[in-house]
Amino acid sequence: MDKLQGVGVSHGVAVGQVRHMGTAVLEPPARQIDAEEAPREQQRARQAVEAVAADLTARGELAGGEAQAVLEAQALMAQDPELIADVERRVTAGGTAERAVYDAFSTYRELLAGAGEYLAGRVADLDDVRNRIVARLLGVPMPGVPDSDEPYVLVARDLAPADTALLDPALVLGFVTEEGGPTSHSAILARALGVPAVVALPGAGELAEGVVVAVDGANGEVVVDPDEAERERLARVAAEHRAALESATGPGATSDGHKVPLLANVGGPADVAAAVEAGAEGVGLFRTEFLFLDDSQRAPSEEKQVAAYRAVLEAFPEGRVVVRVLDAGADKPLAFLAPGEEPNPALGVRGLRTLLDHPEVLRTQLTALARAAEGLPVYLEVMAPMVADRADARAFADACREAGLTAKVGAMVEIPSAALRARSVLQEVEFLSLGTNDLAQYTFAADRQVGAVARLQDPWQPALLDLVALSAEAAKAEGKSCGVCGEAAADPLLACVLTGLGVTSLSMGASAIPHVRAALAQHTFAQCERAAAAARAADSAERARQAARAVLSGE
């Protein structure tokens, strides 16, 4: 019995036989075609691109939520005009459709890989799009989730969003990947599905087909060929966890009554039903990008935005709904907001910076939100992404007032400068919301899509906890609120630590809410405070996790 250690990203325990993802598409042969064949090959390429884009979009519509936004972004990637033009040039030069696609995508892949870690993390998504187009042109099955009638544990080097989004939890007991990180697309979608998952596991690809493994998505441990005693232990852990979930009901609170509202992260109206069913007390992060991905060439009309926003607001009467205005740029480029060539888009014009450069887009969105909330008893709050300082916060607050918005105005803390100067930022806005994914990325210069730096994306990093504490302390001093809407809030143990740091609300994917509610209900606020202090005193993420667990378990 061997024990392997990765990064746990989705809670739960799974025991089953290993099944590996299908192999990658083979490189198509280089074959010259005659000039008269070029139009036909170009047509084949265009048809394959459109078919793959349509398939990705359809998969997204089936999956809904987080998955839909990710897959629609991939569909746009497949239809990139520059890539298609490059494919057609290569066909004109004598290449077959499949070879032209392979070479054009390979060139673009090299550009991404060398454009800094943020864009390098999109290489896996690009490879998946390329493989799907080439497979269609070659007429071979698309590599993907294995065909099996029996439940299994899926093992892969990495999982493309298109595969993760449509996993059947009845068959896929859990999954393990060699790459990825705690905030990668696959990790986020795993949590949404409620499937136990471990990522960044060295040597995952060497696990033998058919061998039985036990996957603990909470602590990141994978046990190969577990003995009977280990299986019994894991079964007890799973049973205890189920019992805790069933006993914890109602609003979020510690065992001694300290209230911690548990809110949901939603990507559009499709996510509302799951949030309501999970007992969400409102929405802590309403991502609005889904509206803008339908057509990357132009912004959605005000009327279309009003209808979409109202559908979400109506689902939470007298609840709190926090809307993040459009967060475009970097990994979410939109043609009508394109800032031009940037050596590192992650550090360029994105988020609020983009909107301030395009005030008409921001004004339309804010006006639509104001109209959507008319006549509803909902507590609407609106926040800006990527706020760097007080000047940013003031500019956003001014824009909200000019649009006639009476909702509370807030700022996301995703840049270390905003955490360090939180009291200054709070002179202009009424609340803070910590986006721990980007805050970790910018604090440690570690792209959340790059498995090689996954340890620096771990939200248990003490330096990140320090920034959370600074923000929460500033909000308390100003008599204002400070929530967390990043993926850190979905970790039940870390949720207790965040509460102890002074965070006033937690927002997460709907599937995580019952787990966090149960964890909070088992501990007093004083225990949470002691766990937070112990975690901050540690000098590594793993030791911080161990220290907090020791405090909360009474060791």
Annotated catalytic residues are 185, 485
Tell me if residue 338 falls in helix, strand or coil. Answer: coil
β-bridge mates for residue 15, sequence order: 214
- Write the CA distances from 391 to 358, 395, 429, integer angstroms: 17, 6, 11
Task: Name residues whose C-beta falls within 8 Å of residue 527's C-beta, 6 or more positions apart in sequence.
Answer: 254, 496, 500, 551, 552
- Supply the DSSP symbol for 413: E
DSSP labels, 465-509: HHHHHHHHHHHHHTT-EEEE-SGGGG-HHHHHHHHHHT--EEEE-
Q: How far apart are CA 249 and CA 247, in angstroms?
A: 6
Task: Name residues whose C-beta falls within 8 Å of residue 505's C-beta, 6 or more positions apart in sequence.
Answer: 260, 261, 262, 263, 284, 481, 483, 484
Query: How are strands ordered across the β-sheet holding 7-10?
Result: 2-5, 221-224, 212-216, 13-20, 152-156, 172-177, 197-199, 7-10
DSSP labels, 166-194: T--TTTEEEEEESS--TTSHHHHHHHHHT
Q: 226 — phi, psi (to 5°)?
A: -65, 140
The one-letter amino acid code at 169 reads P
Both structure tokens of 253: 């609170």
State the maximum Cα–Cα separation within the chain, in Å, rounded to a whole number: 79
- Determine the number of helices (DSSP H) and then strands (DSSP E) in the chain: 23, 16
Rama region for 425: left / alpha / beta (φ>0; ψ in -120 to 50; rest): alpha
Q: How far apart are CA 413 and CA 394, in angstroms?
A: 15
Q: How far apart are CA 223 and CA 211, in angstroms?
A: 11
Specify whether the CB–CB gap between 338 and 328 falls below 8 A: no
Q: How far apart are CA 439 and CA 555, in angstroms?
A: 31
Q: How far apart are CA 444 and CA 368, in angstroms?
A: 37
